[in-house]
Amino acid sequence: AGAGGSSGDSSERVLRVLGQEYARDNMSNVTPAVVQRMDADLLSQPSHPLAILLRHIEEYFQQDQFRHFGRCIFSSHRNMKPVVTPQQNFDSLLIPQDHPSRSPSDNYYLNKDFMLRAHTSAHQSELISSGLNAFICSGDVYRRDEIDRSHYPVFHQTEGVRLFSIDEVNKMTGSSVFAQHASRSPEHQESHTITTAQAVGRDLRTTLSGLVEHLFGPVEQRWVDCYFPFTHPSWELEILFEGEWLEVLGCGVMEQEILDAAGADNKVGWAFGLGLERLAMVLFGIPDIRLFWSKDPRFLSQFKHDAPLASIKFKPFSKYPPCNKDISFWIDDDAFSDNSFTDVVRSVAGDLAEHVALIDSFTHPKTGRRSRTFRIVYRSMDRTVTNEEINEIQEQLRKTVAHELHVELR
């Protein structure tokens, strides 16, 4: 079954993804349900809410404040291929060899050499190497994850990068850019002076607060210190929405080592990555992430490509009743991960699976076998499901789980 994966029909020796063939190996864990989503190209459908949001983001970066003698500073990229190498997704970003984010239980690998990008940061290095100083880069990203209203194995990100030359930083700070023999502190990297790090960080936060205001109008925001292997210092931006603080993006001052390796050793820069679904859910009041994949006209007709942003508010259609089913099993395979189970649920139940909750988990004190009980909430977005059809799906799920994940049903 590969690395805890449910690889669909794993008797096929090659995987076909976007017209290319990839030889399967023991890292392959991409599922047909995910590959099928790769043609959707939601960002290119003019009236899709994600496309509307992205257009407004792109529009912000074309405003006068981001022009130099009338020319846009930021170029916009939407066509970078989602199949990348682990080198692009991890190594180029200084993510250590043993970092947990590389695990096959969190990522979709085509084989040991290729994977579906887990973030748009995978393209930072190549775009900088190509000579760009400022860009945004948007596309679909893929992660093996839990199933609930805000998680889907495919979502979309926009990456932003801006580099500054030594002259530009000098103009902002009036002092030198690079530090000699300094050590890293919470405020700056070893090769940056503190004034450089502060000026770049300030420009980053001003740019992003401006973006949020461009999209939302006045809204309460706060910056939270955080950690990424590819930026330092790093922050997350949270916005207050209906009484709750929501994380919408991660960002920071780019690690100089990344710029050096990409041939921009005489520049400093910032980068950010934001989740388009999260922003769109908040901005338009969309309650469930599955709706972005809906073909239901009651959903799609509510979004008009030329409507002013502030006028777009989703009116949910009535919710249909859920149907809950539990499944319990003993695990006999060390490679089992909870995400390998949720992948099987996605493959068998498709978008009828609204939520998967781990409701019980224990290890038998004598045999050492692990046990899991999951509750699956089935619900359709556009009709009432019958107990009969869900029983059939649940039966299929039990068979597939037993067969592919090497578990013993209880």
Interface residues toward ligand FA5, by CB under 6 A: 119, 121, 143, 145, 150-151, 155, 157, 228, 231, 247-252, 271-275, 277-278
> Which of 219, 385 has the CB closer to ligand FA5?
219
Nearest to residue 400, comparing CAs of 334, 337, 347? Answer: 347
Residue 374: CB partners within 8 Å, gap ≥ 6?
326, 327, 328, 341, 356, 357, 358, 359
> Which of 16, 81 has the CB closer to ligand FA5?
81
Chain mean position to CA 203: 24
248 neighbors 282 (Cβ within 8 angstroms): yes
What's the min distance (Å) between Cβ of 255 and ligand FA5? 10
115 neighbors 84 (Cβ within 8 angstroms): yes
> Which of 228, 374 has the CB closer to ligand FA5?
228
What amino acid is encoded at 324 in this protein?
A: N
Given the structure tokens 């449910």, which residue do they identify? 6
> Which of 143, 192 has the CB closer to ligand FA5?
143
> Which of 253, 331 has the CB closer to ligand FA5?
253
Instruction: Name the token pair of 180.
Output: 């000699």
169 neighbors 199 (Cβ within 8 angstroms): yes
> Which of 145, 190 has the CB closer to ligand FA5?
145
What's the min distance (Å) between Cβ of 217 and ligand FA5? 20
Minimal CB distance to ligand FA5: which residue? 275
What's the min distance (Å) between Cβ of 147 and ligand FA5? 10
> Which of 2, 275 has the CB closer to ligand FA5?
275
Cα 272 from Cα 267, distance rounded (Å): 17
Q: In what helix (H) or strand (E) does residue 378 lie, and over which residues does it extend? A: strand 370-378
Given the structure tokens 């994850």, which residue do they identify? 145
What's the min distance (Å) between Cβ of 95 and ligand FA5? 10
15 neighbors 110 (Cβ within 8 angstroms): yes
Cα 363 from Cα 331, distance rounded (Å): 10
Cα 391 from Cα 406, distance rounded (Å): 22
> Which of 158, 302 has the CB closer to ligand FA5?
158
What amino acid is encoded at 271 in this protein?
A: A
What's the min distance (Å) between Cβ of 23 and ligand FA5? 28
Give me the DSSP letters along 270-300: EEEEEEHHHHHHHHHT---GGGGG---HHHH
What's the min distance (Å) between Cβ of 152 and ligand FA5? 6
What's the min distance (Å) between Cβ of 167 and ligand FA5? 24
What's the min distance (Å) between Cβ of 126 and ligand FA5? 15
Cα 267 from Cα 252, distance rounded (Å): 15
